Amino acid sequence: MFNALVKKIEQLAEGKRPLRFMEVCGTHTVSIFRAGIRQILPPNVELVSGPGCPVCVTCDEYVDRAIVYAQMPDVIIATFGDMLKVTGTYANLAEISAAGADIRVIYSPLDCIKIAKENPDKHVIFLAVGFETTAPTTAATILTAKSQGVRNLFFLSAQKLVPPALEMLLNDSEVRVDGFLLPGHVAVVIGVNAFKFLKIPSVVAGFEAEEILLALINLLTQIDEGRAEVTNEYKSVVKPEGNLTAQKMLSQVFCTVDAEWRGIGEISQSGLALNEEFADFDAEKVLPVNVPKINRRTPCRCGEILRGIVTPKDCPLFGKVCDPIHAVGPCMVSVEGICAAWYRFSF
């Protein structure tokens, strides 16, 4: 089947102008590399990666704020492991942990409730980083903490929404994209309909090699027929309306706010903050701290890479001073980071 799909892509691409499709999600980036899809595409079909790795788009200032909290004697930081090596303007959480801060790696936000109950004399702060995929679990944790009367658990939210980022990309004159491979996991929550505002060919895709090839065939067919639609090639798990229970929980706990994306800048209404009703769980409101804004200049090109303008190989640091062990920028930190994926499958 794989070979037949590749052949179909070749047929559809023949005679067409150079086309660039963006896979928005970091999991797609890894699947594409693993299956060697970039290499077998016709020369006029290029895949570029987008801003779909939540760790990569978490800004310096957020990490700096987390570090300030981590250095407070009565605070325990709870976080997913990926966040430990993301650098702020001067350090990362792994270094602060090595220096004695109480930073705990968790596998689900719900683990925070147990930590909070076991440490009633401490403030437990969860670093809520992620897209629509993980936000419902964070919302469920906040609702559980409220219903159980847990009063020493707080959330530092840098959760982000994918559709506003895609809208920003389409309005960015430097970005040239002919179609989107839309993130399957995000679409499970928000549904295909949430992407209907896109005015270029776009396909919700699964993560197996064949599913990605089918999505590419869909994009090429749309271009062939002069259509620009949002379609679903992941019907087994993604519904047009998404997961209504998860959406209800999200709107109960969070509101949308303007948010800063690392290397990209502020995107209107692209972040999730806690609603007023849950202000008692908002770390920034309950435990305000001063975090100086520092403009750090490095040759890191994550901002352009996340917009699909250049590839990691265009960064002068790639593979020389920046690698997964010594990550300079956030795209090299997470296994789903674009630079980390390129590194893993290039060396």
Rounded to an integer, what distance in angstroms lies between the CA atom of residue 186 and that of residue 184? 6
Per-residue tokens: 147 = 């219903």
As measured in angstroms, the least distance from the Cβ of 184 to ligand SF4 is 25
**Is 161 strand, coil or helix?**
coil
CB neighbour list of residue 293: distance below 8 Å, 6 or more residues apart: 61
Query: Which residues, 318 to 337, sit near ligand SF4 by CB under 6 A?
Result: 318, 322, 328-329, 331-332
Q: Does 300 bind ligand SF4 (CB under 6 A)?
A: yes
As measured in angstroms, the least distance from the Cβ of 318 to ligand SF4 is 4
Binding segment for ligand SF4 among 29-37, 134-142, 271-279, 314-322 (CB under 6 A)?
314-322
Instruction: Find the binder of ligand SF4 among 317, 334, 336, 341 (CB under 6 A).
Output: 317
Cα dihedral 9, 12, 16, 19, rounded to 10, equals -40
In sequence order, which ranges of the chain are alpha helices (DSSP H)? 2-13, 26-34, 37-40, 60-70, 93-98, 111-118, 135-147, 162-170, 184-190, 209-224, 244-253, 283-286, 302-306, 338-346
As measured in angstroms, the least distance from the Cβ of 103 to ligand SF4 is 22
Rounded to an integer, what distance in angstroms lies between the CA atom of residue 210 and that of residue 221? 16
Binding segment for ligand SF4 among 86-94, 108-116, 174-182, 301-309 (CB under 6 A)?
301-309
CA neighbor of 171 nearest in space, from 196, 197, 190, 194: 197
Instruction: Find the binder of ligand SF4 among 41, 315, 336, 341 (CB under 6 A).
Output: 315
As measured in angstroms, the least distance from the Cβ of 302 to ligand SF4 is 4
Q: Does 308 bind ligand SF4 (CB under 6 A)?
A: no
Q: Does 302 bind ligand SF4 (CB under 6 A)?
A: yes
Instruction: Find the binder of ligand SF4 among 41, 78, 305, 306 (CB under 6 A).
Output: 305
Q: Which residues bind ligand SF4 (CB under 6 A)?
A: 300-302, 305, 312, 315, 317-318, 322, 328-329, 331-332, 339
